[in-house]
Structure 1
Amino acid sequence: MFRSYNIYSNKQRWKLLLFGAALSFVALSLWYTKSLVDKIAEEERSKVEIWAEAVKKRSTLVQYTSQLFEKLQSGERRKVELYLEATKYLARPDITDVSFALNVLNDNTTVPVILTNEKGDITSHRNIIIPTGREERKYLRQVLDEMNAQYDPIEIAYYGKSKVFLHYMDSRLFSELKTTFADLQESFISELMLNSASSPLILLDSASRMVVEAGNVEQSILKDSILLNERLEMMLSQHEPLIVEINGKKAFAFYEDSFLLTQLKYYPFVQFGIIGLFIVIAYLMFSTARKAEQNQVWVGMSKETAHQLGTPLSSMIAWVELLKEDEKNKQVAEELTKDIERLLVVTDRFSKIGSQPALKEQDLIPLLNEGVEYFKHRNGRNVNFTTAFPSHPVMATLNTSLFEWVIENLVKNALDAMEGRGSIHIHVEDFENKVHIEFTDSGKGIAANQFKTIFRPGFTSKKRGWGLGLSLSKRIIEEYHSGKIYVLKSELGGGTTFRITLKQ
């Protein structure tokens, strides 16, 4: 039934084209982001594997270092025991050859030792360097306290009742070596952890469920079993844990996506959301500005039309009065008077566009009957008009002149759709707080995708039409009467039903 000007068909094509381009851009962006996320996720998993391997190597290193220092410590203990035996040997009165014992004593050049008597007085010491400026007795007392804190003294019983005590500690070389190994080990692991894993991860012993190692996880979580289990569950929901073997025992490396990877996952959606919001706001602003501009055009055109019609109408009224003076032209003059009155009503309608019309509560039925009678008189031969109105008055708040204009537009469109032949049925339904007015014709019908388009200015099926009738009707009903007008149903070749809904 209806076809649009090229402006609307081209506009629809551009909308579809832009929508397709936007979808392609979104799909391409999401695909590219997903590929980046997959690559980064793979790299993070590789880093977690490196981290787990580093923990495994550290465990091996710790085990080896412990064994090494146990051997060194055992060796120093053996030196102290030899030193003790040599001291006891020298204390025997029956010994004449002391060269061997003296060699043993002299061979101890690394292990610091202090001899004290039963009273705790220091009698001798070896391999202790007194710092310059320090008092010897006080410094030795300090060293003696450190020795007692590290190892229990060895008791030496001489012949007779006298006893001495041998105090010792790790040699300076042994202590420095131990500290150096610990620092190197800690530095090695810290550097590996820093460079190998940016993801939060936890290494859990499979048997005891104790945390062996953790990285990028708050200490408060590691200390709280409930929080720890929740974090492990979250990590498990993202990735399967890695299995790591440490000193013959299994451990599980749990990890989750890094903060950067998580941000990258949701970044496109946030970006498109912001862009979409900006587009919606911009569209609403431009739409509001366009409507305001259209309103100004409508008002200007309507006022100018009313003004242009006013002058010839005044002349026509004068000519009709002259015709009435001749009895032969009386009937013609009466018909002309009716058409002039109709034109005056149209002029009044145009003059009210752009200003707030006066609304008053009145009965709809007489207005509808008057409109039907007007068109019956001019199109009654080929068009069958039927109505279904309630027997009681149907009240609604409206402007008579403008509402009659809507009735005329709907009936005229129906007549055009039927090409002057067919039937028009007007039905009114009265509800508690609203009223439905339906106009049904037997015309060509409207395609479903044009139910809304037909109300746009300039949309028409007529070769010489302007496409303003339905647009004006929508403006009058929805803007001035706060109602609704829409296509209720339509079938190509089976007619159309328009519905107007007004508040009571």
Structure 2
Amino acid sequence: MDIYNRKSRWKIYLGIAGAIIVAISMAYTTYLSNKLAEEERHKAALYVMAQERLNNLDEIAAIINDSCPQPDLTLHLNILQANNTIPVIAVNDRGRVDFSVNTSDTSQAYLMQEVARMEADGFEPIQSTAHRIYYKESTLLRQLRYFPFVQFVLIAAFVGFGYMGFSSARRAEQNRVWVGMAKETAHQLGTPISAIVAWIEHLKLIRESDEEVQEVVGELRNDVSRLELIADRFSKIGSAPKLEPINIYEELDDCRAYMQRRASRKVEFRFPAPDEPAKTVHINPHLFDWVVENLLRNALDAMDGKGFIEAEIYDDQDFVYVDITDSGKGIPEGKFKTVFRPGYTTKKRGWGLGLSLAKRIVEEYHNGKIFVKRSEEGVGTTFTIQLPKKA
């Protein structure tokens, strides 16, 4: 149905919009990270230059010699003191570490190991007057590089929890609407059905001798009984139905007999015989029949008046399975789950509620499952109903 195509498109649009937002965020964060990395490289170079200046023996000698003016080293000291985040290692021309800062270990072995690791990673050292400068990114820069991924996870979690919350609220609201509509329908049907029953009994009494009228009255009574059954089914929606131990072969054959009388003679029904060795399931017969009738009615609509409908019953230790196969138009593989959603239909007329209601009856009231087992367009479809053996 169009509503689900639009819904799928909106999901795609929202996904694309989210991806664009994350991409822009990552691009901007990468830009900031690169700028900060350039600043840190510049700071590391300044730090080594300042350290080299202080280590210059001529400068120190000049400070000791009273005849020379004392140089102002305030700027150099400030540069050294300002770096408390960037790990820096200075390697001399002989390949030894002269000094380091902000490292977890100051031993020569550890520092040389760190230098070897950075060189293996392709790090290009800064070349100063007397040293090769190796440095690592500060904690702030590393956190900034991981920020887009953290942001993506947080946004995804927010969207996911929000979607689940809204979906849960929407399903709860839909359930209330379902229950309200079903019970109101049952209530509205009750009054006219009672009146029709009274009129049928009156007609039966005043024309007792007319066999033709009595035959018509009998058929009317059968149709009214059907209406009473429909009203009873609707009244059970929203409340826990009473489950009874039922022979699935006999119950399925009752459904076949009812639908076969209303089907084209060109449709062949291949159902197991009702006198097969009994397989007992705990079901509510009225509601279960509703599920099977929905499947058979959909199968008849899909076959255009000719073909076959086949049923198979089998079991395992815990469940009884009912497969209903038709030779109809089939269902596209991507629609196997969509067909159970309220409002989905391929018919020009119809509300698309039959399979949705069937799923609700089987799963919520009988603790079972209903699903499309297989389907091929132009060949046919098999639906499976899974029912527990024990209530």
RMSD between superposed Cα atoms in Å = 2.9
Q: Which amino acid aligns with 2:153?
A: G
Report how far residue 333 of structure 1 moved. 3.1
The answer to whether 1:63 aligns with 2:75 is no
1:11 matched to 2:7? The reply is yes
- Which aligned pairs between 1:188-337 and structure 2 lie closer than 5 A? 188-194=75-81, 198-205=85-92, 207=94, 209=96, 211-218=97-104, 221-222=105-106, 240=123, 242=125, 244=127, 251-321=131-201, 322-323=203-204, 325=208, 326-337=210-221
Checking the alignment, whether the CA contact within 8 Å between 1:487 and 1:496 is kept in structure 2 is yes
Deviations 1:428-485 (A, max 9, x none): 2211112222211111122222222221212222223111111111111111122221
The residue type equivalent to 2:204 in the other structure is: L
SS in 1 for 2:103: coil
Q: Say whether residues 1:364 and 2:248 are aligned partners.
A: yes
Aligned partner of residue 378 in structure 1, secondary structure: coil
Q: Which amino acid aligns with 2:266?
A: N
- Relative to 1, partners in 2 of residues 1:201 and 1:418: Cα closer, same or farther, differing over 3 Å? same
**Match of 2:364, as an amino acid?**
E
Q: Is 2:355 the counterpart of 1:477?
A: no
CA distance in structure 2 between the aligned counterparts of 1:268 and 1:396, rounded to whole angstroms: 55
C-alpha displacement at 1:381, in angstroms?
0.7
1:419 and 2:301 equivalent?
no
In the alignment, structure 1 residue 435 sits paired with structure 2 residue 320: yes
Deviation at 1:348, TM superposition (A): 0.6
| Aligned mates of 2:145, 2:235 — CA distance in 1 | 60
Q: Is the 1:241–1:252 Cα contact (8 Å) retained in structure 2?
A: no
Question: How far did residue 194 of structure 1 move?
Answer: 4.4
Task: State the 1:277 CA deviation.
Answer: 1.7
Distance 1:341 1:21 in 2: 56
In the TM superposition, what is the alpha-carbon distance from 1:300 to its structure 2 partner?
1.2
**Alpha-carbon shift at residue 491 of structure 1 (Å):** 1.9
Give the structure 2 partner of residue 130 of structure 1.
none
Alpha carbons 1:198, 1:258 under 8 Å: kept = yes
Structure 1 CA distance for aligned equivalents of residues 192 and 185 of structure 2: 12
Is 2:282 the counterpart of 1:397? yes
Equivalent positions of 1:98-137 (< 5 A) are none
Runs of 5+ unmatched residues, structure 2: none
Select 2:48's aligned residue among 45, 52, 70.
52
1:26-49 per-residue CA deviation (whole Å, 9 max, x = no partner) reads 222212222222222233223323
Say how many residue pairs are matched.
384
> Percent identity between the aligned chains?
43
1:377 maps onto 2:258 in alignment: no
Comparing 348-357 and 22-31, the one that deviates more:
22-31
Partner SS state of residue 489, structure 1: strand
CA distance in 2, matches of 1:232, 1:68: 34
SS at match of 1:425: strand
Secondary structure in structure 2 of the residue aligned to 1:458: coil
- Matches of 1:329 and 1:205 in 2, distance apart? 118
Q: Any idea what SS the aligned residue of 1:20 has? A: helix
Task: Answer whether contact 1:44 1:197 (CA < 8 A) is retained.
Answer: no
Deviation at 1:190, TM superposition (A): 2.9
Normalized against structure 1, the TM-score is what? 0.69
Contact 2:90 2:133 in 1 (8 A): yes
Work out whether residues 368 and 385 of structure 2, in 8 Å CA contact, stay in contact via their aligned partners in 1.
Answer: yes
After TM superposition, give the deviation of residue 204 of structure 1 in Å: 4.0
What does residue range 444-463 of structure 1 map to in structure 2 within 5 Å?
444-463=329-348
Q: Does the C-alpha gap of structure 1 residues 424 and 189 become closer, same or farther in structure 2, counting only changes over 3 Å? A: same
TM-score relative to the length of structure 2: 0.87
SS of the residue aligned with 2:142?
helix
Cα distance in 1 for residues equivalent to 2:86 and 2:50: 15
Task: Give the match for residue 490 of structure 1.
Answer: 375
Equivalent residue of 2:265, what SS? coil
- 1:342-380 CA-to-partner distances (Å, cap 9, x unmatched) read 221111110001111122333211111111111122215
Higher RCO (C-alpha 8 Å, min separation 6): 1
2:249–2:273 CA contact under 8 A, matched in 1: yes
Whichever of the two has the greater Rg, that structure is 1
Instruction: Return 5+ residue gaps in structure 1 as ranges.
Output: 73-172
8 A Cα contact 1:50 1:196, kept in partner: no
Q: Residue 25 of structure 1 corresponds to which residue in structure 2?
A: 21
Q: Which residue of 2 aligns with 1:503?
A: 388
TM-aligned CA deviation for residue 217 of structure 1: 2.9
Kindly tell me: are residues 358 and 236 of structure 1, through their superposed partners in 2, closer, same or farther at Cα, counting changes over 3 Å?
farther
What is the identity, as a one-letter code, of the residue corresponding to 1:213?
A: F
* Contact 2:248 2:280 (C-alpha < 8 Å) held by counterparts: yes
CA distance in structure 1 between the aligned counterparts of 2:120 and 2:272, rounded to whole angstroms:
66
Q: Is the partner of 1:222 in helix, strand or coil?
A: coil
